[in-house]
Amino acid sequence: MNDQKFAVWAPGARAVQVQLGLRQLELTARDDGWWELPASAQPPVTGPIDYGFIVDGRGPFADPRSRHQPAGVHALSRTFDASAHVWQDADWTGRQLAGAIIYELHVGTFTREGTFDAAASRLDHMHSIGVDFIELLPVNAFNGTRNWGYDGVLWYAVHEGYGGPAGYQNFVDACHQRGIGVIQDVVYNHLGPSGNYLPQFGPYLSEAAGNTWGSSLNLDGPHSDPVRRYILDNALMWMDDYHVDGLRLDAVHALRDTSATHLLEQLAVEVAALSAKTGRPRTLIAESDLNDPRLVTPREANGYGLDAQWSDDFHHAVHVALTGETTGYYADFEPLDALAKVLTHGFFHDGTYSSFRERTHGRRIDLERMPTWRLVVASQNHDQIGNRAVGDRLSEQLDTGQLAIAAALTLLGPYTPMLFMGEEWGATTPWQFFTSHPEPELGAATARGRINEFARMGWDPALVPDPQDEQTFERSKLNWNEAAEPQHARLLRFYRDLAAVRRTRPDFTDPRFDQIAVEFDAAAGWLRLHRGSTQILFNLGTQPVRVPAGGGDIVLSFAAEGEAVQGRLPNALQLAPHSVVVLA
């Protein structure tokens, strides 16, 4: 419903008023639990209006569907006319996920300014490395001034510090004019700890226990239909009012839904309908800890019908192969054959025993029917960096050659690659966990809970930065000056070259698993990946190594130091330490 109709769902309330300035106007109850302002009482709308709802004498509270919270989540809402924006993207036909490159960024730390406008000023850079989609970490309204975005409590509003809803529209418009789509990260599995007034209105929350991060939503209990509608309408809002091209659905394994039609399936149906109506493809990507291909199995085959899902197994296998780190959930990925399996089968745990979970985990992918692009993979992302004790990137542990290997595995591997902001030049700035809860006790509890959540990873609590310290946030901002420094600029050129190879050679757009093959020698430290007729050779070790190679010309190469190819041998190449070579 349009927020200017001043309507709200409050099924158990006895009386509801809307506060407009100093006036309080009575709302009328409908049979479906909604309260609305009679048409005769609608105020003339000549500009933005600040308003809030009073429920049984409590409040005023922000509108659960508020589009604008200029004074924060505890303050009144402000009306926002999404239709006022004059879109410049009439020629934008959208992008398919197949063959695309995704770039993940956090608006607040991507630039020094931390705004949509500042991020838009870097679109030429992202275009130069072949980016097809920008994936924004959550931008909905949260309490405080700085946050990863996963503590959102007003899902329809855009954080004011980034530029608010109008700034968001401008950013999406600018991306489309540059030929880049936008994927919005959304969180439907929990609500943040401060500013969540939804329970004041109705049974939005599940009566079952919450999850690790906060209160779970009521997806299948009494009065759950309007709660599901609250989520579905929010998803459609991003795509309709803000022209967003897709959604990344946070931690869908934490959605508690026993309905015959799961929320995810219902979402897929409605998004497909919107896509057909607008003539633009819309993409749904799930983050899931389940390794369950049902998420991306078509609805006609009894799946949920989402377009893609993350595969953290890829990250873990690449991370262990390059760093040797085997603590916590990395333990199962120690042998090099873990990387080989992930490259050829999508998941490592596909019905195998997980020592970290102490049980069998995952399910096999149907390699004959599922296209490879349905898995989104990364060697670095916000979770895998930010959820380390000090938020250290791979650049803290690896040399430039190893970073190039990670890049080639990601960009030239068989799956949809996702880059994390700054990795393309080997950024040395950390990306740490930061919050700005105004309530001191909440800030302290967040820090303790985070350490407890990752206790099995062997963190030293003394090393973990204080999330509430503003310097933790400031340290996490990218230093764009690094990109021009010689070693960083060299890696950046390689990323650009990888993107060009990926886009121009047909082997890298073939979505069939049967066009992938891997050979490796764990003792010698080399691996060879076949993508059709193209070969990518990797020397993961610290010594020169002879790697079997068929015919073909060297299309691209990179080494930590000097030349990657140190000699041609019959049916083999002598590769320098920490190097990668593409033959075609």
Q: How confident is the chain (584 residues) per 10-residue block, as mean pLDDT?
A: 74 97 93 93 81 97 98 96 96 97 98 98 98 98 96 97 98 98 97 94 87 87 97 98 98 95 98 97 98 97 97 98 94 96 98 96 97 98 93 97 98 98 98 93 81 71 88 98 98 98 95 97 98 97 96 95 94 97 97
pLDDT at position 456: 67
pLDDT at position 210: 72
Looking at the chain, how many residues does it have?
A: 584
Segment holding 61, helix H or strand E: strand 58-61
**Does residue 35 contact residue 10 with C-beta atoms inside 8 Å?**
yes
Q: First and final CA of the chain: distance in angstroms?
A: 56
Give the relative orientation of helices 400-411 and 486-504 as an angle to the nearest 10 degrees: 20
pLDDT at position 454: 67
Does the residue 511 lie in any domain? Answer: yes
Max distance between CA atoms of the chain, in angstroms, equals 87
Asked whether residue 253 is marked as a ligand-binding residue, the answer is yes
Could you identify the residue written with the tokens 């990518």? 536
pLDDT at position 45: 67
Asked whether residue 157 is marked as a ligand-binding residue, the answer is no
Residue closest to 317 by CA, chosen among 88, 577, 466, 527: 527
Does the residue 559 lie in any domain? Answer: yes
Two structure tokens written together for 45: 């709308």
- Report the CATH number at residue 25: 2.60.40.10
Range of the domain at 66: 3-84
Asked whether residue 251 is marked as a ligand-binding residue, the answer is yes
Could you identify the residue written with the tokens 């990260």? 185
pLDDT at position 4: 64
Does the residue 153 lie in any domain? Answer: no
Domain end point (choices 84, 108, 123): 84
Indicate if 250 belongs to the active site.
yes
Does the residue 514 lie in any domain? Answer: yes
pLDDT at position 451: 74
Asked whether residue 110 is marked as a ligand-binding residue, the answer is no
Residue closest to 187 by CA, chosen among 134, 145, 218, 231: 231
Domain total of the chain: 2
- ω into residue 60 within 30 of 0, thus cis? yes
What residues contact 260, with CB distance under 8 A and at least 6 apart? none
Question: Can you tell me whether residue 26 is helix, strand or coil?
Answer: strand
List, as one string, the DSSP characters of 138-191: P-EE-SSS---STT-SEEEEEPGGGTHHHHHHHHHHHHHHTT-EEEEEE--S-B
Asked whether residue 383 is marked as a ligand-binding residue, the answer is yes
pLDDT at position 441: 87
Does the residue 304 lie in any domain? Answer: no
Asked whether residue 478 is marked as a ligand-binding residue, the answer is no
On whether the pTM is more than 0.95, the answer is yes
pLDDT at position 184: 98
Other Cβ atoms less than 10 A from the Cβ of 109: the count is 24
Q: How many CA atoms lie within 13 A of 447 on its CB side?
A: 21
Does the residue 25 lie in any domain? Answer: yes
Asked whether residue 316 is marked as a ligand-binding residue, the answer is yes
Asked whether residue 388 is marked as a ligand-binding residue, the answer is no
Other Cβ atoms less than 10 A from the Cβ of 28: the count is 12
Domain end point (choices 84, 108, 143): 84
Domain end point (choices 38, 55, 84): 84
pLDDT at position 459: 73
pLDDT at position 519: 98
Does the residue 52 lie in any domain? Answer: yes
pLDDT at position 1: 35
Does the residue 569 lie in any domain? Answer: yes
b/e per residue, 372-394, with b = 16+ CB within 10 A?
bbbbbbbbbbbbbbbbbbbbebb
**Does residue 99 contact residue 133 with C-beta atoms inside 8 Å?**
no
Instruction: Let me know how many helices (H) and strands (E) the chain has, helices first.
Output: 14, 28
pLDDT at position 124: 98
Asked whether residue 220 is marked as a ligand-binding residue, the answer is no
**Does residue 315 contact residue 377 with C-beta atoms inside 8 Å?**
yes
- Report the CATH number at residue 520: 2.60.40
Asked whether residue 574 is marked as a ligand-binding residue, the answer is no
Asked whether residue 2 is marked as a ligand-binding residue, the answer is no
pLDDT at position 458: 72
pLDDT at position 229: 98
Q: Which of 250, 265, 399, 423 is catalytic?
A: 250
Neighbour-count burial of 147, counting CB atoms closer than 10 A to its CB (0-12 exposed, 13-18 middle, 19+ buried): buried
Q: Which of 151, 287, 399, 424 is catalytic?
A: 287
Distance CA 377, CA 396 (A): 21
